[in-house]
A and B are shown apart, each in its own frame.
Chain A
Amino acid sequence: MRVGMEFFIGLSAILFCLGLYGALSKRSAVMILMSLELMANAVNINLVAFSRFVTPKVMTGQFFAVFMMVVAAAEIGLGLALVLALYRQTQTIEVQFLNELKG
């Protein structure tokens, strides 16, 4: 049995939905960041699959995936720094307690 590009795009869609569910339902800021990483991962799988099956010689998707990883690494670094700063100010990382701006 051999599989083509549709299989990998389907895998990436499922992974993206799992990440979406986590990002919407979790209450801990760290868990939300982890779900965001899952979604970024799904996008990367998509890019690499397109690179393998559409432009195998020039590997455009692979470069996109690598730059995507750079952005995701920057995002997780800044996000976790923000979580630490938040914890220092409010002593909690549960997002339902962060409602100071609520009118």
Chain B
Amino acid sequence: MLSTVSGVAALGMSAIVVGAAVMMLTSRNVVHAAFWMLGSMLGTAGVYLLLSATFVALVQVMVYAGAVAVLLLFVIMLTLRRREDAVRSRDFSAVALALAVLFGGVMLYVLWGLHVPAAPMPAIVPGIEEFGLLLFSTWMLPFEIASLVLTVALVGAVWWSGGRRGR
């Protein structure tokens, strides 16, 4: 297998990811912005497929495009009193733009001189089976800690958002 990825597909997927992200930041309607974020997440899943990370792409679609998008839309709907509140005035901050451009410039400059030796892909691409075997052997302890983190986060979210009347 080669140590490169098809350029046309990669360019198309990147265009979807970056374009949807730009549309999310420029759209004035919060609900539209949530849907553009969903598009960006789906494009990212395509990028993962190009990088032959099947399981990560599946998790991306399920967690980000599924759960996080629904959660975001729920909170948007719960915190809008009227339909007109969804349309917001344009937030523009020159300082934020300057900081982001500076940061991006530094990163791309560093990237310019970067040379990482790329290892070629093995003939048989490791798939979900190898991923699962490794996850439940090498990565056993982090997996358990991750489940604990999710449980604590779930309980905390219910505790914070649940109405405690009378206080």
User: Which residues does A use to contact B, with CB under 8 Å?
Assistant: 1-11, 13-22, 24-28, 30-31, 33-35, 37-38, 41, 44-45, 48-59, 62-63, 65-67, 69-78, 80-85, 87-88, 93
Given the known inter-chain contacts A52-B51, A67-B146, A77-B153, please indicate yes or no for A21 contacting B75, CB distance below 8 A: no
| Distance A49 CA – B14 CA, assembled complex (angstroms) | 13
Binary CB contact string for chain B from 17 to 54 against chain A (1 if under 8 A, 0 otherwise): 11001101100001001100100110010011001110
Give the number of chain B interface residues (Cβ < 8 Å).
86
**Residues from chain A with Cβ under 8 Å of B122 in the complex:** 56-57
**Docked-complex contact B71 and A80, CB < 8 angstroms:** yes
A sample of 8 inter-chain contacts (CB < 8 A) reads A2-B5, A6-B111, A13-B111, A15-B17, A17-B107, A52-B52, A66-B135, A80-B71
**Residues from chain B with Cβ under 8 Å of A75 in the complex:** 153
Instruction: Find B88's partner among A25, A28, A52, A57 (CB 8 Å cutoff).
Output: A28
User: Which residues does B use to contact A, with CB under 8 Å?
Assistant: 2-8, 10-11, 14, 17-18, 21-22, 24-25, 30, 33-34, 37, 40-41, 44, 47-48, 51-53, 55-56, 59-60, 63-64, 67-68, 71-72, 74-76, 78-79, 88, 91-93, 95-97, 99-101, 103-104, 107-108, 111, 114, 116-122, 125-126, 130-131, 134-135, 139, 142, 146, 149-150, 152-154, 156-158, 160-161, 163
Determine the residue in chain A with the shortest Cβ distance to B156: A78
